[in-house]
């Protein structure tokens, strides 16, 4: 069974999907949905709300990344487990840290296909010479969303205007 809920956040409405055992997807939506009835989903939404309020720095809900190669799982697992709140890592550093043979350029594709953004913090992966890309956020707001998340975590100073 699949459960679904939403949360209005400073970076848009987030939709969260659970199978009752693990969070399987987080993505941006246009409108809120009905209240969730799955306890795990309720907890994930509570944790996301606390994160945006500045009261949570570590998510501890179970997650599952479906239908991806083992190297993708390894990269996302390494990101989730080793790059904490207030930290960032370059695409190349994450490639090295993951212990896979995934080249740095391919890390960006893996981040772009991350089905559980924010909880698996792909926004913390940056280019060696700048922010890099970000496919999350409302349409056309990817880099603004990434910048907001990194400012929220203290990785970047707040924008002056």
Q: Model confidence over 93-143: pLDDT tens digits? A: 999 999 999 999 999 999 999 999 999 999 999 999 999 999 999 888 999
* Dihedral sign, Cα of residue 58, residue 48, residue 61, residue 93: negative
CATH class of domain segment(s) 70-152: mainly alpha
Is there a contact between 23 and 44 (Cβ–Cβ < 8 Å)? yes
Question: How much is the pLDDT for 30?
Answer: 81
Question: How much is the pLDDT for 158?
Answer: 84
Going from the C-alpha of 160 to that of each of 87, 113, 151, the distances in angstroms are 21, 31, 11
The yes-or-no verdict on residue 14 having pLDDT over 90 is yes
Question: How much is the pLDDT for 31?
Answer: 78
**pLDDT band per the 50, 70, 90 thresholds, residue 33:** confident
Partners of 89 in the β-ladder: 125
Catalytically active residues, by annotation: 122
The yes-or-no verdict on residue 90 having pLDDT over 80 is yes
Residues 6 or more apart whose CB falls under 8 angstroms from that of 130 comprise none
Question: How much is the pLDDT for 147?
Answer: 96
Going from the C-alpha of 139 to that of each of 45, 78, 108, 135, the distances in angstroms are 22, 28, 19, 9
Report the alpha-carbon distance of residue 117 to residue 140 in Å, rounded: 17
Give ranges for CATH 1.10.10.10 in the chain. 70-152
Structure tokens at 151: 């400012």
């Amino acid at each position: 069974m699949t459960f679904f809920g939403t949360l209005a956040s400073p970076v848009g409405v987030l939709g969260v999907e659970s199978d009752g055992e693990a969070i399987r997807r987080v993505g941006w939506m246009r409108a809120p949905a009905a209240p969730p009835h799955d306890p795990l989903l309720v907890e994930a939404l509570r944790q996301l709300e606390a994160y945006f309020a500045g009261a949570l720095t570590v998510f501890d809900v179970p997650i599952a990344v479906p239908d991806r190669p083992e190297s993708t799982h390894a990269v996302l697992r390494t990101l989730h487990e080793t790059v904490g709140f207030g930290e960032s890592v370059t695409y190349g550093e994450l490639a090295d840290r993951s212990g896979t043979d995934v080249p740095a350029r391919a890390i960006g594709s893996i981040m772009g296909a991350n089905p559980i953004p924010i909880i698996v913090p792909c926004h913390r992966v940056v280019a060696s010479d700048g922010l890099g890309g970000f496919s999350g956020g409302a349409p056309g707001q990817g880099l603004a969303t990434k910048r907001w998340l990194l400012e929220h975590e203290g990785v970047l100073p707040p924008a002056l205007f």
